Structure 1
Amino acid sequence: MPADNSHLIVAAARRRSAATRRRAVAALRRMDATGVAITFESLAREAGVSRSWLYTQPDLKAEIERLRSRRRSVPEARPVPDRQRASEASLLRRLEVATERNRQLESENGELREALALALGERRTADLPGRCGDTPRKKSPNVIGPC
């Protein structure tokens, strides 16, 4: 009686199936990242798989249909890949950070305006005639050092 090698055939089929799935997922991600129109036909061609196999994969089928419908809703704009889309929470956080930065800049501008006003006031009072400032009234004698 010949040896039962069916487990080897099953293992090879599983490896082939996993490799096919990896190619399809990688192609789908590449196509989404580059903004290429995603259809069953284009994905099958890009991944080197059959269209019929794509239709038998519920998760891939749903993702293809979701990406196709998203593209239809915005025909003239290039769709942004999902992993590059900003979530509502991240947009709100960015808005909070920008608002805080604006407050800081407003405060800094106020401080700088006040410092400028003080400096201009000091300069104006220093330029008044008859004011005894730091400048001596008489010229200092020439100092001659050792020869």
Structure 2
Amino acid sequence: MTDARTKRTQTLTAAAKAKSQAKTHAAEQAIRRLIKRGEAITFQAVQREGRVSHAFLYNHPDLRGRIERLRSQARPIPAQAPPADPESTLVLALTSQITRLKKQHRQEVQALREALEQAHGENLDLRRELDRRGLSGQVQAS
């Protein structure tokens, strides 16, 4: 009986360790993506990008320290001198436009996800109400 319990404990411990490693990897990848996009490194941004919890980030000393360091290093980017040639101006304008459109796209996708989630919830509520009233079979037959 003790061997079975020990084996279950070892299995659960290994699963918890694997889950923690996966979350750590997800958070590290999120930090890299945020840096690559030039976005601010904050706990909330890493949480959102890596799909990990605030608690996980705060309770993981290495990740917490890294996020705090990167957050404190963030400085406003000084305005650049205008480029000398028109091609550089075009590249900067298009890069800025792409960045703005990507941000707008992310916001729109998030809004759509939230609307879809709400619609699913309302649909579930309506189905439950139909079941409660005993009308679900009548609606499907129509």
Q: Report the TM-score when normalising by structure 1.
A: 0.47
Rg larger in structure: 1
Q: With CA pairs under 8 Å and 6+ residues apart, which has the higher RCO, 1 or 2?
A: 1
- Give TM-score, length-normalised by structure 2: 0.49
Pick the structure with more helix per residue.
2
